[in-house]
Every structure is written in C-alpha cells, then in structure tokens.
Chain A
Amino acid sequence: MPSLPAAAVLPAAALPAAVLEVANAAVRFGEVRALDGVSLAILPGECIGLVGHNGAGKSTIVSVINGGLTPHQGEIFSDGTRLAPYGIGVARSRGVRCVFQELSLCPNLSIIENTRIMHRTLGGFGWRTRAAAIIASSLDAIFPGHGIDVSGPVGALSIAQRQMVEIAMAFSDAGQPPRLVILDEPTSSLDAGLAAQLLAHVRRFVASGGAVILISHMLNEILETASRIVVMKDGKIVAERAAGGFDHAGLVEAMGSAVPHQTAARRNLAATEPVLDLALPKGQPFRACKGEVVGLAGLGGHGQTRMLLALFDHHSPQWWPRRDPAVTFVAGDRRENGIFELWSILKNMTVAALGDLSRRGLVQDAAEAARGAEWKSRIEIRTPDMNNLILSLSGGNQQKVLFARALSTRAPVVLMDDPMRGVDVGTKREVYGMIRAEAEAGRTFVWYSTEMEEMQLCDRVYVFREGAIVAELTGEAISEHNILRASFKAEAA
C-alpha cells in the first residue's frame, strides 16, 4: 500500500459532492509506475490546474478520469456514488469530456460528421442540420470570429483550427451538457489571441458551475485561470493548494526542477566551423558547430521535429548502409520511433552499430556482448541481464538504452527529439551529465524539447514559430522570458 502524501487527502465531508472523484488510483505500464496511489476530487465550479514535468503522470490520470484506462487499483466516484464498472461510456454519460494532446478527430470526415461521432445521441433524420448548429454555436461562443466552415473536411484545417474544433466539440451540448471538461495542453497550437479567448471561456464555464481540469506547460495560464493547482511528480501528487498559494517560482520549485543550474558550463562555440547546416524555406538558416549543444525551442508543433527529421533524412542512408554515419537520432516517442519490442536490451542497443560489430559480414557475438557490457556500466542500465527483453525495463531505462544506441555509434552529431518524455527526474540528471560530457569530448547535440529548463542547458537556442527560426539566443540571453517572447512575437507586434 503506497503511502499518500498528506496534501492529497481531502476532507471530503466538508465539500459538496464532487463531479468526479478518483480515490487511490494506481496504474503500471510494465515496470513503470505511471500512477502511484493518486486521489483527486473535482468539484463543480472549480478549475483545477494540473502541472508537472513530462512523465509525471498527468496524461495517465486524465485517461483514468475519462474512462479510457482502467486503473489497476482505486475507485471512482461521481456525485457521491461509486461508479463500477467505469468506462468511456459511463464517463460520457456523466458529462466528462476531454480534449487530447494528439489529434482526436477523424481527418477524413467533415466537422459536422465528426460532431455526429462525438455525440452518440444525435442520430435521426436531419442530424446534419442539428450537428451543424451545435458545433457552430459552440465555436461562436468560445472563439468569436473563428471563420471556420463547419461543412468542410477536418483534413483541410490548419493545426490551430483543428485544435479549436476539438475544444468547441468538448464544450458543445447535444442534450447531454458537459460537466467536467479536461483540457490537455489546449493552447499548444493556438496563438496568444485564441488562447486568451479559450481561457476566458473556461472562466465563464467554471463561473456557471462547470468543472475544468487544465493541463499546461504555460505556468502563467495555470496561475491566471485555475482555482486550485495540483502538482504531480513521478506518478504522485506532491503538492495541492488553492490558486493563491503558489507564485511562479513556488510552482517551479514544487514541480521539482530536474535541471541543475550550470550556466557556467555554457560555451560559445558559434564562431567555429559548422559541422551541420540546413537552409530552411523561410526564416534564419540552421547551423551547428563541433562540440555544441544546440537547443530548438518554441511552442510544440511549430516545425522543430520536422527540421530534425529533415536533418536526419539528409544525412542518413536510404539505400546503402554507411560505415560512418553522419548523424544519429534519439527519439522521444519511444514506442513509435524508438524501441524494437520483440528484441532484447542488447539487440536494441547495438542495432545502429552492427557494421562496427561485424567481421566478414557476420555479427560477432563476443564483440556485441562486450559493447553491451561496456555501456551497461557506463550509463547504468538497471537490469540483471542485457539479454532480457527491452520491455522489462522502466521507461527511463529504455530511454537510456536509446541514448546508448546513439552514443555508441561513431556519428559526430546526435539529434534529439524531445527525448526526456516520460523519464523520471533521476534519469534525467544522469542523461544531462552524459550529454555535457560527450559535448565536451567534441560531439554535437541538436536538442528539441518542450521543457523550458532543458533549453537552459544548451549553448545556443533557436526559437521556432510556424515552421521557421525566428530568433537565435546565446549565453545569458537564453531564458524562459526571451524564448516565450520570441515564440509569440507575431501576436505582440
């Protein structure tokens, strides 16, 4: 039985019945404790700000609340009654709605048809007219002057417009009014004006008795909008206070900064010969020098990953294997782009360096095992045997294997696509140290991250907006303030 932090226990009797309450929920993914005894009650008329680093368990608790994930332990209550079994259908009938981080519309259908999918009860003759009215009125209420044609296909919308439609969909009412709306990074692809419209609507919705869970990396949004703030770390709730109880610094501290302040280590290498450059269709060109750690900042989905992939495609082989790779890649989305699930830890680690481990066309077992043992001790992969399956490792250790895969090649440049997603704080510290040490030994790192603090570790930072580099920050100029300002410049001007 995991012990609960004192702050997570609510004096339930003193409060009105919660719209939804999760009691002592635990979720495990293999070895990873994604949720470790979390209790959370959401009352009508409050907006809960949920913060924490990537992998702290925010998305998992959201999945539990919306019924998409059944916790291995714990109970769920609504309006004072226990809901069992609990699932997506039950959650929706209780008015729970969710806006997810990834696209959750059908791109091949029109907005009206998507509305039909979202509202099961909308059927019957003339549903198209009704659906159009419902979604249009919701869009008008949240984003006045949105200019979206609701009869058009979702596939033709821009990312921001899709996000707007999804948000409007969650707040729309087709006979079953929304009572609890979960917004997971809703402003990540919205510009400042649209974000302000959304947050204003959230306040109106809460004032009229609705409940909202707001997840955002933008701590200012949380501080301005939420009535209560819940901080998560490593699958637990570590702090919970009314909105006034936190200021910006206090919130950062509660989240547990993983980044040691080591600005002194920052070096200015920008003058040396570049090892990598790429001209982008618009904005400044990209370039990186030997031994440099280059950060890619800006709001999510503004072209950072696309540029990393372009860099990678440009320098990696398509048809003929290269003995001396020019670049190597560390993926953030481990499941999708990183690990090979059927394989052992060792095979996962050595797959990028098989050319170095072969003689006369055959892979040398002894050389492979030696390489595995070397990296196991160098970056402390916690496993009794490198021949165990990769899935036996925790998320953080899987990520370490991916780092070992990249670093054990001879590639002089390492591209990293938000590689700390779902990694615990301890592992992060170790990896930060490794990156610094490798950079000092002459490796170049290109690092995209959504975590502001990781950008502070870079020697130089490019800020992206709408697919282009809009600012270059070096040395002391790298700060959250400057990055945010550059990310939003177009709206300010």
Chain B
Amino acid sequence: MKTLLSKPWIWSFVAALSVWLATIGVTGGASTVGLSQAALTFAAFSVLVGIGQMFVITLGPGNIDLSVPATMTLSGTVALKYMDGANSLILHGLLIAIAVGIAVGVLNYALIKALRIPPIIATLSMSFIVQSAAIWTNRGLRIKPPQVLADFTTQTSFGIPNIALLALLISVIAWVLLHRTPYGRWIAAIGQSLPAARMAGIAVDGNRFVTYLLCAILAAVCGYLLACFSGGAALNMGTEYLLMSIAVVVIGGTAVAGGDSNVPGIWGASLFMFLVVSMLNTYGLGAGVRLIMTGAIIITVILLASGRKAATR
C-alpha cells in the first residue's frame, strides 16, 4: 500500500475516481455505464496524444510539441478526404494519416535543428503552416468516414470502447519503450541533462528526432480516429487537445522538467479531465467556468508536483 501511494500516478486516479463518484451522486447512478463508457472513449483520445506529448516532454525543459492540434486536424482531413467513405480504403487512409504525422515530425525537427530555435517556437510556427494546409484541404466540406471505421470507433467490445482498448495497447507499447528499451533510457537521460547525455555517448539528435516523429505520428493517428469517431473532420477538432495533451502529462505525474515519465498517470489524468468537464456540465456550469477550472487545475497540479520534488530533495 505504501509503495502504491508513493507512485506519482496514483493521485490522478484518486482524483478521477472522486470526480466520478461526485457525478454519479448527482445523477443518482442512472447514467453510470454511459458516463463510464464516454469517459473511457474521450480519455482514450487524450491518452493517444498525451503519450506522444509525454515522450517529447521527457526530453527536458523547453521541449513541448505545439503542433499536435494542427497535425490532428490535417491528418483527419486528408485521410477522410482520401477514403471518401469507402470501406476498402481504410488501411490506405491510416497509412496516409501516418505519412502526415511523419512529414510534420520531420519538418518540426528540421526546424529545431536547422534554425536552432526552442522547440516550442519551431512547432508553433509549423502548426500554423499545417493548420493552413488543413484549411486548404478541408474547404469546409464535411466528408463522412467509412462506415466500418465509424462503427469501430463508436462501438464497444466486452463493454469497453474499442478506442479505449486500442489506446491501452499503445500505452503498453509506450511503457515498454520507455522502461525496457535503451531508447527509453536515452531520452530520460537527455531530459535530465542534455550535456551529460551527450558526454555519455548518447546519439542526442537521433533520439530527439525519433521522439518528435513519434509524437507527430501519434497525434496524426489520433486525428484519424477522432475524425472517424465524430463523423467527419472539423477544422477546430484538434484545438482542445493542445492544452489537454500537456495537461494530462503534467497531471499524470510526469516531471515537467523532463527525464522522468510515467504512462499510467496519463490514463488517470485523462479520465479526470473528462470527468471534471462532465461534472461541471451536470452541475449546469458554462464554458467560462469550465475553462477557468481547467487552467486552475493545471496550475495547481504543477505547483503540487514541484512541491513534491522539493520535499524529496
């Protein structure tokens, strides 16, 4: 029990559970299954982008990928446009989404490396170009996703949403990558101290490049799934995932300063963020309060997290 309590990710689950109970309490338990399934589904999308963002944040101070929302929008738009509702092109669509992710990832790191600017500015500039590309492709048309894919993203297996199962699979892979492979060690080393990692003979550029690539690909895949889930790509579909991807990483107990990440916390944080919004909705509070709460939660969590670090020192 004590070792469990010392895990940084446990708190996000505790928070998620209490909000879940509070919401159930108001609705009188009528919507328990529906709420839980919705929470798992929406959390799954946050988890997908959150994992990518977590790898980037692991790389250390200043490493944040702000192009996540634009990448999601572009990949969703392009893939849906290509598939044009045809079930036979689902795989092609996925490959196209991944290709979009690769392209954005490569360009992101090319900017970071070639212009030697902070990643945050490089990815921000890139996101504007990607966003424009999405607007240009979209042209205000709303193309329906292939029926098979739409069904897959909205249905459940064994009572658990398919999307959540998929996100779980990717989470497990991410955990192995982070904790069992040399790559995971290397990016954690880079995040703790870039010069020390370089001096230890770690191929810093290669590892950072792969990480930005990974983040962009995950964002692209998430955009592809989200577009299918919501019945078509919308230009603003990625917007809320900018802060969300960072928030779930931070709330999940990953060190904002880098070098120390954890995958389970992202699940707790993603569930928590969705449940807070739905709780505020249940209580009848508007968009303004929701925004304020989101911001306040993030700042509170960073404050608490920094306090935790200071205490163990």
Contacts and interface: CB of A to CB of B under 8 A. Distances in A.
Interface of A: 312, 316-322, 325, 327-329, 331, 336-343, 347, 351-352, 354-355, 358, 361-363, 405, 409, 411
Interface in B179-202: 180-182, 185-186, 188-189, 192-193, 195-202
Nearest to B255: A342
Given A312-B199, A343-B188, A355-B182, 4 more contacts: A340-B192, A341-B193, A342-B188, A354-B185
Contacts of A343: 188-189, 192
Nearest to A340: B192
Contact of A338 (B182, B199, B201, B260): B199
Given A320-B206, A343-B192, A362 B200 contact: no
Contacts of B260: 342
B205 interface: yes
Interface string B1-37: 0000000000000000000000000000000000000
Nearest to A313: B198
A462 B81 CA distance: 66
A30 to B, nearest CB: 10
B211 to A, nearest CB: 13
Contact of A318 (B181, B186, B205): B205
Interface of B: 176, 180-182, 185-186, 188-189, 192-193, 195-206, 209, 255, 259-260
Nearest to A415: B199
B201 A329 contact: yes
B185 A363 contact: yes
Given A329-B201, A342-B259, A342-B260, A351 B185 contact: yes
Contacts of A312: 199
A358 B185 CA distance: 12
19 contacts: A312-B199, A316-B201, A322-B201, A328-B201, A337-B195, A337-B196, A338-B196, A340-B188, A340-B193, A340-B197, A341-B193, A342-B260, A343-B192, A351-B185, A351-B200, A351-B202, A352-B200, A358-B182, A361-B182
A336 B196 CA distance: 7
Of A328, A340, A347, A409, most buried by chain B (CB within 10 Å of CB) is A340
B185 A318 contact: no
B78 to A, nearest CB: 29
A340 B202 contact: no
B182 A363 contact: yes
Contacts of B200: 329, 351-352, 405
A367 B202 CA distance: 20
B201 A352 contact: yes
A354 B183 CA distance: 9
7 cross-chain pairs, A with B, having the tightest CB-CB distances, nearest first: A354-B182, A319-B206, A317-B203, A340-B192, A318-B205, A329-B199, A337-B195
A330 to B, nearest CB: 8
A318 B204 contact: yes
A409 B209 CA distance: 25
Contact of A325 (B180, B181, B193, B201): B201
Nearest to B190: A340
A312 B199 CA distance: 8
Contact of B189 (A319, A322, A351, A358): A351
Given A328-B201, A355-B182, A363-B182, A336 B195 contact: yes
Contacts of A411: 201
Nearest to A391: B313
Of B185, B200, B204, most buried by chain A (CB within 10 Å of CB) is B200
Contacts of B182: 321, 354-355, 358, 361, 363
Contacts of A318: 203-206
A42 B150 CA distance: 81
A1 to B, nearest CB: 27
Given A320-B203, A329-B201, A336-B195, A363 B259 contact: no
B225 to A, nearest CB: 27
Given A319-B209, A320-B203, A340-B259, A331 B180 contact: no
A340 B196 contact: yes
Contacts of B201: 316-317, 322, 325, 327-329, 352, 409, 411
A177 to B, nearest CB: 40
Contacts of A347: 185
A340 B189 CA distance: 7
Contacts of B206: 317-321
A405 B201 CA distance: 10
A423 B181 CA distance: 33
B200 to A, nearest CB: 5
